[in-house]
Amino acid sequence: MEYSHPWLPMTEDLEKAMLKSIGRKSLKELFSNIPDQFRLKRDLDLPDSHTELEVAKRIQELASKNKAADNGRVFLGAGVGVHHIPSVVPALAGRSEFVTSYTSYQPEISQGMLQTLFEYQSLMAELLAVDVVNSSMYDLASALAEAILMSVRVKKRSRFLVPRTMNPAHWQVISTYTEPLGIEVEKVDYDPKTGLISISGLKSCLNDQVAGVYIENPNYLGFIESQVDRISKMVHETGALLVAGVDILSLGIMRPPGDYGADIVVAEGQPLGTPVSFGGPLLGVFGCTGDMKLIRQLPGRLVGMTRTSEEPHERGFVLTLSPREQHIRREKATSNICSNQALVAVTAAVYTSVIGAAGLRELGESVAYNSHYVADRLDAIPSVKAPALNESFWKEFVVKFENGVSAQHVHEELLKRDFHGGRLLIEDFPELGETMLLCVTELHSKEIIDEFVSAVEEIVTSGGDGQ
């Protein structure tokens, strides 16, 4: 037998045997379901082999074209954020004891990871002001989808309400989860002047078929939802559940969702010590009140602490809830969450412990000051309105360009000046006009902010859409 390729352990005889076992005569027949026009009819255009040194040099050459995202010149957020990560966080979270740990099925050999996840749950529950937090979900989007499914199971109702201003990417995810199950998810419109949820619109949508209502605070567009108490009362009066999505770093200075009656809370845990990394990994924080009807329907897993009955008391940690289909009867499973974000959750626990309560408050204040400073400076520029929606915001806000100025043009010109602007909103929110969603964090120094504002002013006053 001779190999057809020096690095692939596949002989012609073995290939024929495999094809025969599945009733195929050739590879062409195996892939017959792929339309002919999509098949590659030539060899791959691959370069000749290179030495390790040559490959390393080429990779370094390509990497040098990248620009740092944590130098304060990036104003892009839209659900994730570039924040300062203390060096101790990756040093601890990256220890081999955590990195190589597998799912904690056997508590007798997994006490370290189980205790760390228990601490994560405890820290998140304190931040969110709820009784129970699981460990953990993939991201906020999938956590929200699971919250909708959980609400439907608990309330045995088939409708769910979300704000029109929610993250469009999250809308796509929850649609993927709910549509096959026949769950009707309906958007509630917003007040065009304030961006807040339309109370009259919400009232008209609420009935005895609504399982829950989702609100974001701060909202995807950055503003603070000041009607949370009124919304909470309306939702609970109809017997529905209130699901709240929050920016977890805002909780250093803002009311936690448990304080205004949220039954289920979700958050994106990426800002807690994890870099943006081209879109992942993210971390879905998921919690609820102590109502056992909710806890029994909680997706994911819960780590619990126990102790010996006699002194000296010794603590032990176990998975007290793990409702996956591989652990219980499939029809009883409440979630198919598999590879949970344990390592990212560990990172979040380390970050939260390192920064502490005082640090979290200082961070929240710094972000609030910086973002409002940027908005005030931009609003002073002719043809620029900032914020374009709601005066009450934190970290992110909508900037509107008027008098023929194109947001796309501003974005492209900013790139030429080594700045990355905010997310363009014209496609998802065309009614807002030429707008972008700007994100400002503690990484933005006054010097960089002033340079950024000067760049925007120069672009806006020099020629509108650049045509």
Dist CA 204 CA 208 (whole Å): 12
In this prediction the pTM is 0.87
pLDDT given at position 331: 63
Q: CATH assignment of 88-352, given 3.40.640.10, 3.40.50.960, 3.40.50.720, 3.40.1550.10?
A: 3.40.640.10
Query: By the 8 A CB rule, do 374 and 438 touch?
Result: yes
**Cβ atoms of residues 337 and 324 within 8 Å:** yes
The H or E element that residue 343 is part of is helix 342-379
| Mean of pLDDT values over 80-92 | 94
Residue with more model confidence, 206 or 11: 206
For residues 146-172, average pLDDT: 96
Helix (H) or strand (E) holding 147: helix 140-155
Q: Residue 282: how many CA atoms within 13 Å on its side-chain side?
A: 18
Residue 192's pLDDT band (cuts 50, 70, 90): confident
Q: Each residue of 205-219: pLDDT tens digit? A: 999 999 999 999 999
In this model, does residue 236 exceed pLDDT 60?
Answer: yes
Residues of the chain with CATH 3.90.1150.10: 356-463
SS3 439: strand
Phi and psi at residue 271, to the nearest 5°? -65, -15
Burial of 68 per CB tally in 10 Å (0-12, 13-18, 19+): exposed
- Kindly state the percentage of the chain with pLDDT values over 90: 72
Lowest mean pLDDT among 2-16, 116-130, 226-240: 2-16
Q: Residue 11 forms beta bridges with which residues?
A: 3
Query: For the residues 192-213, what does the mean pLDDT come to?
Result: 94
**Phi and psi at residue 392, to the nearest 5°:** -100, 110
pLDDT of residue 330: 60
Q: What is the mean pLDDT of residues 333-343?
A: 71
Q: Tell me the mean pLDDT in the region 48-60.
A: 93
- The C-alpha atoms of residue 378 and residue 380 are separated, in whole angstroms, by 5
Give alpha helix (H) positions in 258-341. 292-295
Q: Which amino acid is at 206?
A: L
What pLDDT digit, counting tens, does each position of 424-460 carry?
Answer: 999 999 999 999 999 999 999 999 999 999 999 999 9
Tokens of 393: 């915001």
Distance CA 439, CA 443 (A): 11
Terminus-to-terminus CA distance in the chain, angstroms? 66
Instruction: Could you list the beta-strand ranges (E) of 386-460.
Output: 396-401, 423-424, 435-439
Better-scored residue on pLDDT, 8 or 235:
235
Cα torsion 119, 122, 126, 128 to 10°: value is 110
Which residue's structure tokens are 């959750």? 345
Closest CA to 173 of 150, 197, 153, 147: 147
* 318 backbone φψ class: left, alpha, beta (φ>0; ψ -120 to 50): beta
Architecture of the domain spanning 356-463 = Alpha-Beta Complex (3.90)
d(C-alpha 220, C-alpha 439), whole Å? 11
pLDDT, residue 467, reads 44
CA-to-CA distance for 75 and 448, rounded, in angstroms? 11
| Residue 27, token pair as written in the block | 């590879």
Mean pLDDT (whole number) for 292-311: 90
CA distances from 186 to 62, 213, 299, 342 (A): 45, 10, 23, 33
The whole-number pLDDT of residue 368 equals 97
The verdict on whether omega for the bond into residue 271 sits within 30 degrees of 0, i.e. cis, is: no
Tokens read off for 247? 């920016």
* Cα gap 423→429, rounded to integer Å: 11
